[in-house]
Structure 1
Amino acid sequence: MAVWTTFWSYFWGTLTVVPFLGFPLVYLSVYMWKRNKRLAGRWAVNITNFLVIRSAVSAYELIWPEAMSAWWWVSCFFLGAVVLLGWLQVKLKGKLSLKKVGFSAWRLSFLWFGLVYIVLFTTGIIKTMGVV
């Protein structure tokens, strides 16, 4: 039992440090299971998005441990993105589809938190190098 606990601990730790490694793992797993490239791609992007958000939050909390929780920033991003995309959709199309707005905010968050993760990862390395 201790072997599995250690394995899962290292596995999740690796996915926290390198969240983009989750994309090929999920893609290959879902493709082998369902034999559908499109479905595998969707699953891989969604799971990788969760991993990237979790990694960005972890990096933020390691760099600034006494700062406000990063989950507040994540919540504010999603709230702001949904409001802005909803307003934009009403202006352009004249009607609001929360499903499309939510989907767009989720996909936009993949790009945003991917960039935030890279910046925080680099900041963490620079900060650590400054201490040494």
Structure 2
Amino acid sequence: MTMLANVWAYFWGTLTVVPFLGFPLVYLVVYGWKRDKKLAGRWAVNITNFLLIRSVVAAYGIIWPQALSAWWWVVCFFLITIALLGWVQVKFKGKLSLKKVGFSAWRLSFLWFGIVYIVLFTTGIVKTMGVV
């Protein structure tokens, strides 16, 4: 591999292991580019959410290699969350806005996958320590 490919691989590997590192990186880049704190914060949360989902899927696959793919759990989480939020919205407002439900599910997934990441990270450490 070339040096640039190695740097890129280490960068993505680092962001997979520590996805929260993506938040300040994206925030600083977007803020430096657009000079808008609110936009930089939104971009940072969205990109960090993608990194969290990627990290959770990778950690799940490493901890339980023979289990069902974690992507199915991610899809099920989003489908169930969207269905429940849609039901609540129809119940209280009388109409459904898929845009609002989608944004709400995406924001809740940041919290959910952050918690799942921490649980899987500690589970991986404990499992590895048990092997040694």
Q: Name the TM tier (shorter chain).
A: over 0.9
Amino acid of the structure 2 residue aligned with 1:122: T
Provide the rounded CA distance (Å) in 1 between the counterparts of 2:127 and 2:114: 20
Amino acid of the structure 2 residue aligned with 1:83: A
Number of residue pairs the alignment of both structures matches:
132
| Unmatched 5+ stretches in structure 2 | none
Report the equivalent of 2:63.
63
Amino acid of the structure 2 residue aligned with 1:114: G
Provide the rounded CA distance (Å) in 2 between the counterparts of 1:74 and 1:64: 15
Provide the rounded CA distance (Å) in 2 between the counterparts of 1:114 and 1:55: 10
| Alignment map for 1:1-132 (pairs within 5 Å) | 2-132=2-132
Provide the rounded CA distance (Å) in 2 between the counterparts of 1:43 and 1:77: 22
Deviation at 1:3, TM superposition (A): 0.7
Deviation at 1:9, TM superposition (A): 0.3
Q: State the Cα RMSD in Å.
A: 0.7
Deviation at 1:59, TM superposition (A): 0.3
Provide the rounded CA distance (Å) in 2 between the counterparts of 1:93 and 1:20: 35
Provide the rounded CA distance (Å) in 2 between the counterparts of 1:113 and 1:46: 12
Deviation at 1:82, TM superposition (A): 0.2
| Unmatched 5+ stretches in structure 1 | none
Provide the rounded CA distance (Å) in 1 between the counterparts of 2:43 and 2:117: 20
Per the alignment, in what secondary structure is the counterpart of residue 65 of structure 1? coil
Amino acid of the structure 2 residue aligned with 1:112: W
Provide the rounded CA distance (Å) in 2 between the counterparts of 1:35 and 1:29: 10
The TM-score, its normalising length taken from structure 2, stands at 0.99
The TM-score, its normalising length taken from structure 1, stands at 0.99
